[in-house]
Amino acid sequence: MTNHYYSQQPTTAHNLAEWQFELLGKNFRFTTDSGVFSKGTVDFGSRVLIEAFSPVDLPEGTLLDVGCGYGPMGLALAAAYELPVEMVDINQRAVALAQENAAKNQVNNVDIHVSNIYEELHQASYAAIISNPPIRAGKQVVHEILSGAEPLLKTGGTLTVVIQKKQGAPSAEKKMQEVFGNVEIVTKDKGYYILKSVKE
Protein backbone atom coordinates (compact mmCIF):
# COMPACT_ATOMS: atom_id res chain seq x y z
CA MET A 1 0.00 0.00 0.00
CA THR A 2 2.85 2.40 0.71
CA ASN A 3 3.65 2.94 -2.95
CA HIS A 4 0.36 4.03 -4.42
CA TYR A 5 -0.06 7.66 -5.47
CA TYR A 6 -2.63 7.94 -2.66
CA SER A 7 -0.13 6.74 -0.02
CA GLN A 8 0.80 9.25 2.64
CA GLN A 9 4.54 8.72 2.25
CA PRO A 10 5.53 6.87 -0.92
CA THR A 11 8.78 4.95 -0.44
CA THR A 12 9.61 4.43 -4.12
CA ALA A 13 13.01 5.75 -5.15
CA HIS A 14 12.91 9.34 -6.38
CA ASN A 15 12.89 9.79 -10.13
CA LEU A 16 12.46 13.51 -10.77
CA ALA A 17 11.28 14.75 -14.15
CA GLU A 18 10.70 18.27 -15.44
CA TRP A 19 8.55 19.19 -18.42
CA GLN A 20 6.27 21.90 -19.75
CA PHE A 21 2.56 21.91 -20.44
CA GLU A 22 0.14 24.66 -21.50
CA LEU A 23 -3.06 24.98 -19.46
CA LEU A 24 -5.65 27.72 -20.06
CA GLY A 25 -3.16 29.75 -22.08
CA LYS A 26 -0.31 29.63 -19.55
CA ASN A 27 2.81 27.59 -20.17
CA PHE A 28 3.59 25.72 -16.94
CA ARG A 29 6.87 24.09 -15.97
CA PHE A 30 6.16 21.08 -13.78
CA THR A 31 8.52 19.00 -11.67
CA THR A 32 7.17 15.52 -10.92
CA ASP A 33 8.50 12.39 -9.26
CA SER A 34 7.82 8.69 -8.81
CA GLY A 35 5.03 7.91 -6.35
CA VAL A 36 2.69 10.63 -7.66
CA PHE A 37 -0.25 10.37 -10.06
CA SER A 38 0.45 10.84 -13.79
CA LYS A 39 4.08 11.91 -13.42
CA GLY A 40 4.84 12.08 -17.15
CA THR A 41 2.16 14.51 -18.33
CA VAL A 42 -1.01 16.27 -17.19
CA ASP A 43 -3.49 13.39 -17.36
CA PHE A 44 -6.37 13.67 -19.79
CA GLY A 45 -9.07 13.71 -17.10
CA SER A 46 -7.49 16.68 -15.32
CA ARG A 47 -7.22 18.53 -18.63
CA VAL A 48 -10.91 17.95 -19.39
CA LEU A 49 -11.91 19.24 -15.92
CA ILE A 50 -9.68 22.32 -16.23
CA GLU A 51 -11.31 23.21 -19.56
CA ALA A 52 -14.84 22.48 -18.30
CA PHE A 53 -14.64 24.38 -14.99
CA SER A 54 -16.34 27.77 -14.91
CA PRO A 55 -16.04 30.34 -12.12
CA VAL A 56 -19.10 32.20 -13.44
CA ASP A 57 -21.90 32.63 -10.87
CA LEU A 58 -19.85 31.18 -8.02
CA PRO A 59 -20.18 32.79 -4.59
CA GLU A 60 -17.16 34.72 -3.38
CA GLY A 61 -14.55 32.58 -1.68
CA THR A 62 -11.88 29.94 -2.05
CA LEU A 63 -11.69 27.05 -4.49
CA LEU A 64 -10.65 23.70 -2.96
CA ASP A 65 -8.71 21.13 -5.03
CA VAL A 66 -9.00 17.73 -3.29
CA GLY A 67 -6.29 15.25 -4.25
CA CYS A 68 -4.26 17.94 -5.99
CA GLY A 69 -1.25 15.75 -6.82
CA TYR A 70 1.66 17.84 -8.07
CA GLY A 71 -0.78 20.66 -8.77
CA PRO A 72 -1.94 20.99 -12.40
CA MET A 73 -5.66 21.62 -11.80
CA GLY A 74 -5.42 23.98 -8.83
CA LEU A 75 -2.50 25.94 -10.27
CA ALA A 76 -4.10 26.30 -13.71
CA LEU A 77 -7.37 27.60 -12.26
CA ALA A 78 -5.63 29.87 -9.73
CA ALA A 79 -3.53 31.42 -12.50
CA ALA A 80 -6.34 31.77 -15.07
CA TYR A 81 -9.14 33.07 -12.85
CA GLU A 82 -7.17 34.74 -10.03
CA LEU A 83 -9.18 32.82 -7.45
CA PRO A 84 -7.73 31.90 -4.07
CA VAL A 85 -7.19 28.14 -4.21
CA GLU A 86 -6.54 25.70 -1.38
CA MET A 87 -4.91 22.48 -2.59
CA VAL A 88 -4.72 19.32 -0.49
CA ASP A 89 -3.44 15.77 -0.91
CA ILE A 90 -2.66 12.90 1.46
CA ASN A 91 0.59 12.25 -0.46
CA GLN A 92 3.37 14.30 1.16
CA ARG A 93 5.63 13.93 -1.88
CA ALA A 94 2.88 15.26 -4.16
CA VAL A 95 2.23 18.23 -1.85
CA ALA A 96 5.93 19.16 -1.79
CA LEU A 97 5.98 19.05 -5.60
CA ALA A 98 2.82 21.15 -5.84
CA GLN A 99 4.39 23.77 -3.55
CA GLU A 100 7.53 23.77 -5.70
CA ASN A 101 5.48 24.02 -8.91
CA ALA A 102 3.46 26.94 -7.53
CA ALA A 103 6.67 28.83 -6.73
CA LYS A 104 8.31 27.94 -10.05
CA ASN A 105 5.29 29.19 -12.02
CA GLN A 106 4.78 32.25 -9.80
CA VAL A 107 1.27 31.27 -8.74
CA ASN A 108 0.98 32.92 -5.34
CA ASN A 109 -2.78 32.79 -4.62
CA VAL A 110 -2.62 29.18 -3.40
CA ASP A 111 -2.47 27.43 -0.02
CA ILE A 112 -1.02 23.93 -0.51
CA HIS A 113 -0.79 21.44 2.35
CA VAL A 114 -1.25 17.82 3.41
CA SER A 115 -4.76 16.66 4.30
CA ASN A 116 -6.52 13.29 4.15
CA ILE A 117 -9.52 14.44 2.11
CA TYR A 118 -11.28 17.04 4.32
CA GLU A 119 -9.55 16.35 7.66
CA GLU A 120 -7.12 19.31 7.82
CA LEU A 121 -8.74 22.18 5.90
CA HIS A 122 -7.86 25.84 6.43
CA GLN A 123 -11.27 27.34 5.54
CA ALA A 124 -14.72 26.76 6.99
CA SER A 125 -16.48 26.95 3.64
CA TYR A 126 -15.69 27.08 -0.09
CA ALA A 127 -17.02 28.67 -3.26
CA ALA A 128 -16.23 25.52 -5.22
CA ILE A 129 -14.60 22.11 -4.81
CA ILE A 130 -12.88 20.21 -7.62
CA SER A 131 -11.43 16.72 -7.63
CA ASN A 132 -9.90 14.14 -9.91
CA PRO A 133 -10.54 11.50 -7.26
CA PRO A 134 -8.12 8.62 -6.58
CA ILE A 135 -10.18 5.86 -8.19
CA ARG A 136 -7.69 3.17 -7.20
CA ALA A 137 -8.14 4.07 -3.53
CA GLY A 138 -11.63 2.55 -3.84
CA LYS A 139 -15.26 3.55 -4.12
CA GLN A 140 -15.55 4.37 -0.41
CA VAL A 141 -12.85 7.06 -0.66
CA VAL A 142 -14.34 8.51 -3.86
CA HIS A 143 -17.83 8.67 -2.32
CA GLU A 144 -16.40 10.26 0.84
CA ILE A 145 -15.06 13.07 -1.36
CA LEU A 146 -18.49 13.47 -3.02
CA SER A 147 -20.64 13.38 0.13
CA GLY A 148 -18.22 15.37 2.29
CA ALA A 149 -18.19 18.28 -0.16
CA GLU A 150 -21.77 19.37 0.34
CA PRO A 151 -21.55 20.68 3.93
CA LEU A 152 -18.33 22.56 3.06
CA LEU A 153 -19.80 24.50 0.14
CA LYS A 154 -21.40 27.92 0.33
CA THR A 155 -24.91 28.24 -1.08
CA GLY A 156 -24.50 28.37 -4.85
CA GLY A 157 -21.11 26.68 -4.63
CA THR A 158 -20.26 23.78 -6.91
CA LEU A 159 -18.61 20.37 -6.73
CA THR A 160 -16.97 19.41 -10.03
CA VAL A 161 -15.30 16.02 -10.49
CA VAL A 162 -13.86 13.99 -13.35
CA ILE A 163 -14.37 10.21 -13.48
CA GLN A 164 -14.13 7.74 -16.34
CA LYS A 165 -17.36 5.95 -17.22
CA LYS A 166 -15.72 2.55 -16.80
CA GLN A 167 -14.24 3.61 -13.43
CA GLY A 168 -17.48 4.57 -11.76
CA ALA A 169 -18.93 7.75 -13.31
CA PRO A 170 -22.53 6.38 -13.26
CA SER A 171 -22.19 5.45 -9.57
CA ALA A 172 -20.65 8.87 -8.76
CA GLU A 173 -23.44 10.63 -10.67
CA LYS A 174 -26.03 8.75 -8.63
CA LYS A 175 -24.24 9.59 -5.37
CA MET A 176 -24.03 13.31 -6.24
CA GLN A 177 -27.74 13.37 -7.12
CA GLU A 178 -28.47 11.73 -3.77
CA VAL A 179 -26.28 14.19 -1.79
CA PHE A 180 -27.06 17.45 -3.61
CA GLY A 181 -30.46 16.79 -5.19
CA ASN A 182 -28.96 17.74 -8.57
CA VAL A 183 -26.16 16.68 -10.88
CA GLU A 184 -25.20 17.68 -14.41
CA ILE A 185 -22.92 15.96 -16.89
CA VAL A 186 -21.02 19.06 -18.06
CA THR A 187 -18.81 17.26 -20.58
CA LYS A 188 -18.12 13.77 -21.88
CA ASP A 189 -14.79 13.25 -23.64
CA LYS A 190 -13.17 9.90 -24.52
CA GLY A 191 -15.04 8.15 -21.72
CA TYR A 192 -14.31 10.85 -19.12
CA TYR A 193 -17.33 12.46 -17.48
CA ILE A 194 -17.25 15.89 -15.85
CA LEU A 195 -19.97 15.86 -13.19
CA LYS A 196 -21.15 18.99 -11.42
CA SER A 197 -23.53 19.52 -8.52
CA VAL A 198 -24.64 22.85 -7.05
CA LYS A 199 -25.37 23.43 -3.36
CA GLU A 200 -28.84 24.93 -3.21
Per residue in 69-86, is it b (16+ CB within 10 Å) or e — as a string?
A: bbbbbbbbbbbbbebebb
Per-residue pLDDT, 29: 96
Q: Residue 29 falls within a domain, yes or no?
A: yes
Q: Residue 168 falls within a domain, yes or no?
A: yes
Q: Residue 138 falls within a domain, yes or no?
A: yes
Q: Who wins on pLDDT, 9 or 69?
A: 69
pLDDT tens string 89-103: 999 999 999 999 999
Q: Residue 131 falls within a domain, yes or no?
A: yes
CATH number assigned to the domain comprising residue 43? 3.40.50.150
Per-residue pLDDT, 14: 81
Q: Residue 136 falls within a domain, yes or no?
A: yes
Per-residue pLDDT, 100: 97
Q: Residue 10 falls within a domain, yes or no?
A: no
What does the alpha-carbon distance between residue 96 and residue 86 come to, in Å, rounded to a whole number?
14
Q: Global pTM?
A: 0.94
Q: How many domains does the chain have?
A: 1
The share of the chain scoring above pLDDT 70, in percent, equals 94
- How are beta strands 153-164 and 110-114 bridged, if at all? unpaired
Per-residue pLDDT, 172: 96
Q: Residue 153 falls within a domain, yes or no?
A: yes
pLDDT tens string 157-189: 999 999 999 999 999 999 999 999 999 999 999
Domain of residue 191 covers: 17-198
Q: Which of 1-10, 39-48, 116-125, 127-136 has the lowest mean pLDDT?
A: 1-10
Q: What is the mean pLDDT of residues 31-46?
A: 85
Length of the chain: 200
Per-residue pLDDT, 79: 98
Q: Residue 187 falls within a domain, yes or no?
A: yes
Q: Is the predicted pLDDT of residue 1 greater than 50, yes or no?
A: no
